[in-house]
Structures are given as structure tokens and as C-alpha cells.
Amino acid sequence: MNDDLKALIRTIPDFPKPGIMFRDITTLLLDAKGFATSIERMAAATHGPVDLIAGIEARGFLFAAALAAPLGAGVLLIRKDGKLPGVTIAEDYALEYGTDRIAIHADAMAPGQRVLLVDDLIATGGTARAAVRLLRKAGAVVEQAQFLVDLPDLGGAAALRADGIAVDSLVAFEGH
């Protein structure tokens, strides 16, 4: 379906550790037509109007900003805790070993705003699920998420769907 875009994503075996097949989107980002096409297709897959595009640090920022113009929406940054000035609200989530925390500005949105969650890749879904919880805690209506790449074997998209999120991705790669 999106084989043209999939061909622009480089696979680097055994990075960052043996057995991992790293899906490197920097090669797609370097291709102006490929990046523009990915944004056009993500915008076309968006269901209904959205007020804000929430991008997850850091590559999600690129897709959120690029999608904002064609969708007529603002950009909301979801950052690692401690990176935003001012008052924030945050959400913890589990990592393989320990926990991490993401945050948004407490005044970044009004309750009831429709938010599209965007990131470059969905793997286990830990960060994306935490982002949905955080946005909903702030009063957002979050019903959809978009990713350039899905790694379905890791279950993140399925977990988001179980949380009531419509998940779209342009390409999928088997394995991890």
C-alpha cells in the first residue's frame, strides 16, 4: 500500500543491541518528496477535524508540525519531564527497567479540545499510551493516533486500540 514510503526507511540490523532491527526514518526525512507524501497520507487518514496535533518528543514533533498546517490545527509538544518551563502536568510510564515521565504545559489546551496524537513509530506503545492518559487527564478528547511506522509484533497499536484509540500507520515492519 505504501511501499514507496517503506522503501525510503532504512533498516539497521543489531542496533542498538544484537537482535534488534532498527527502522531508521532519517532516510525518509532526507527525501523531500517522500516526507511530503507521508504528511499528505497522514493528513488524509485523519478522521474529522482536530484542534491540536500532539507530537511526542522528539521525532513526533516533526510530524506534528508538518501535519498542523494542512489540518488547520495547533501543535502541542509532549516532552520528557523537566524540559518545559512553567507549570506542567505529567504522566509516568513503565520502561523495560524502571519508569519515565512525560509532560505538557498545564495551560496548553482547553478541556474538550480534539487532539490527534502523532509519533514516528509505535513499538510497545508505552509512551503513546502514557501520552493518551496525560492528554485525557488535561481534558482532551483523544480518539486517534497516527504513526509513520508500526511494529505490530510488539503490540503497541493493539494496546492503543484497546484504550479506545483509532490507530493508523503508513507502513508496518514485522519483528522488532
Spot the catalytic one: 23, 79, 91, 96: 96
The angle that helices 59-71 and 32-44 make with each other, rounded to 10 degrees, is 60
Closest CA to 127 of 74, 61, 78: 78
For 169, the grid coordinates are 500507520
Spot the catalytic one: 41, 57, 59, 101: 59
Residue 40 annotated to the active site: no
For 5, the grid coordinates are 514510503
Closest CA to 146 of 73, 70, 76, 56: 56
Residue 174 annotated to the active site: no
- The set of catalytic residues is 59, 96
